Structure formats: structure tokens, C-alpha cells
């Protein structure tokens, strides 16, 4: 059964955050809130966690996983980004955008797109997610909590606990969070390509 953490949305309880991060470090898989809906998350080195995310969401090996980063300095360790793109990405973070960029050697091969050697990165503005990332000290490998056959991501913590009680190790509930996935921008070829229009305004990346 998944542990259920009821976390204050503005002042996350340090003890709860420490317990959640302890589970992640022990290769647990969590469902947690972001500023653009709930996500599934695990440590970068957690191969079993990745397999579990793929199984829950019925994903193939071409799916772009996202590294949820605490800040821009951390993001810069895991993707290659030139000066022109740097300004555009920095101006849009934290926020509801996912950026596809060429990965550095810090990113495990299993997280990369098999042909492009790219990975998704984002910085969330959600207080609880930021608290988890600050305590963890490394990115969370994440994927939107959208179940197969469902038109929209799940938005209620209790609902997620009910549906995924035996599939995840913890559900982190901080009340209402966004219901729309991120806007996904592919920057791997140099010029922006909007792959998915979501919560973030895509116009700032229009050619």
C-alpha cells in the first residue's frame, strides 16, 4: 500500500518532506504535485522505478522522460544549452514548460531518447515539489500522471491513492494543483518546435 502524505501547500512540513525523500532514496516511486498537474517521480538511478512508470502509463522506449530540476544551475548539469537558448529557457522558468535538449554525460543512457540522445528538463514553481527537490539534491525523473485511456491527468490525491495504491510507494497531496500538462518545446535542433501545447504560453517560442 502507498503511504499518503498530506503536505501543507504553502509551508510543507519538513518532517514529511524528509520522509518522502527517504522513500525516493530507497528507490521508491512517488506521485507528487507540480504546477501543471500530478507527476510520477523517482531517482535517476532507479531502473525499477522507470520500468514501473512505463508500466503504469503504457509507455514505449521513445517516450521522453523529464528531469524535474530544483533550479537553473542543476538543469545546466544535465543538458547542453547555448547562449541564445539559455536566455529563452531562463525567462520561462520556473513554470509550466518542458524543454527537450541534448543530454550531457551526466544523464543515464536509459533516460535518453534512443535516437536523438535528448532528454526533457523542467523547473516547477510548485512549493511542495520544490521542497522535495531541495531536500533530495538531485533531479526527479518524472512523467505526467496520465493513465492509459484517460483524456485528462488525475488531479486529486485521494483518487490517485485509490487508483495506484499498489503501483506507487507514496502519494503526496498538497491540495489543488494544475490540471493541464506542461507545454513541451523541442530545442534540440536549435530553433524551437512546439511539440505539445499545455499550461505554458507557446507564443513566446513561436518562430
- Is the pLDDT assigned to residue 206 strictly greater than 80? no
Q: Please report which confidence band the pLDDT of residue 63 belongs to, taking 50, 70 and 90 as the band edges.
A: confident
Q: 120: domain range?
A: 3-198
Task: Output the CA torsion 65→145→8→197 (10° steps).
Answer: 70
Tell me whether residue 164 is in a domain. yes
Contact yes or no for 64/127 (Cβ under 8 A): no
Angle between helices 14-25 and 127-136 (to 10 degrees): 60
> CA 101 to CA 72: how far, in whole Å?
14
Count how many domains the chain has: 1
State in Å, rounded, how far the first CA of the chain is from the last one.
48
Residues whose CB is less than 8 angstroms from the CB of residue 104 and which lie 6 or more positions away in sequence, other chains included: 77, 78, 79, 80
Instruction: Please indicate, yes or no, if residue 206 is contained in any of the structural domains.
Output: no
C-alpha cell at 96: 509550466
- Kindly report the CATH number assigned to the domain that includes residue 57: 3.90.870.10
Residue 97: strand pairing partners: 183
The whole-angstrom separation of Cα 84 and Cα 80 is 12
**pTM for the full predicted model:** 0.95
3-class secondary structure, 162: helix
Count Cα neighbours of 198 within 13 Å in the Cβ-side half-sphere: 21
For 9, other C-beta atoms within 10 Å of its C-beta total 14
What mean pLDDT is predicted for residues 183-192? 92
In a domain, 103, yes or no: yes
pLDDT tens by residue, 130-177: 999 999 999 999 999 999 998 888 888 999 999 999 999 999 999 888
Q: What's the whole-number mean pLDDT along residues 113-126?
A: 92
* In-domain check, residue 204: no
Q: Which residues lie closer than 8 Å to 203 by C-beta, 6 or more apart?
A: none
Instruction: Report if residue 170 sits inside a domain.
Output: yes
Q: Is residue 207 situated within a structural domain?
A: no
| pLDDT attached to residue 207 | 58
C-alpha cell at 148: 492509459
Residues linked to residue 141 through DSSP beta bridges, in sequence order:
42, 67
Pairwise pLDDT comparison (79 vs 205), residue with the higher score: 79
Calculate mean pLDDT across residues 28-57: 95
pLDDT at residue 204 greater than cutoff 90? no
Within a domain: residue 203? no
How much is the mean pLDDT over the chain? 93
Q: pLDDT: is 60 or 137 the higher one?
A: 137
64 belongs to a structural domain: yes
Cell triple for residue 166? 499498489
Least Cα distance to 126 among 30, 8, 6 occurs for 8
* 3-class SS of residue 133: helix
Amino acid at each position: 500500500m502507498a503511504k499518503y502524505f498530506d503536505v501543507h501547500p504553502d509551508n510543507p512540513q519538513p518532517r514529511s518532506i524528509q520522509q518522502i525523500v527517504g522513500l525516493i532514496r530507497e528507490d521508491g516511486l512517488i506521485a507528487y504535485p507540480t504546477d501543471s498537474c500530478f507527476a510520477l517521480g523517482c531517482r535517476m538511478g532507479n531502473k525499477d522505478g522507470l520500468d514501473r512508470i512505463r508500466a503504469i502509463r503504457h509507455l514505449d522506449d521513445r517516450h521522453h522522460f523529464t528531469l524535474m530540476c530544483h533550479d537553473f544551475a542543476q538543469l545546466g548539469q544535465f543538458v547542453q544549452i547555448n547562449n541564445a537558448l539559455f536566455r529563452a529557457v531562463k525567462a520561462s522558468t520556473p513554470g509550466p514548460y518542458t524543454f527537450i535538449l541534448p543530454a550531457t554525460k551526466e544523464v543515464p543512457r536509459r533516460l535518453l531518447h534512443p535516437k536523438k540522445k535528448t532528454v526533457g528538463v523542467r523547473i516547477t514553481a510548485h512549493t511542495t515539489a520544490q521542497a522535495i527537490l531541495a531536500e533530495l539534491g538531485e533531479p526527479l525523473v518524472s512523467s505526467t500522471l496520465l493513465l492509459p485511456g484517460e483524456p485528462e491527468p488525475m488531479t486529486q490525491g485521494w483518487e490517485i491513492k485509490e487508483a495506484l495504491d499498489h503501483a506507487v510507494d507514496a502519494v503526496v497531496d498538497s491540495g489543488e494543483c494544475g490540471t493541464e500538462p506542461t507545454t513541451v518545446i523541442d530545442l534540440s535542433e536549435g530553433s524551437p518546435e512546439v511539440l505539445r501545447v499545455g499550461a505554458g504560453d507557446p507564443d513566446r517560442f513561436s518562430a
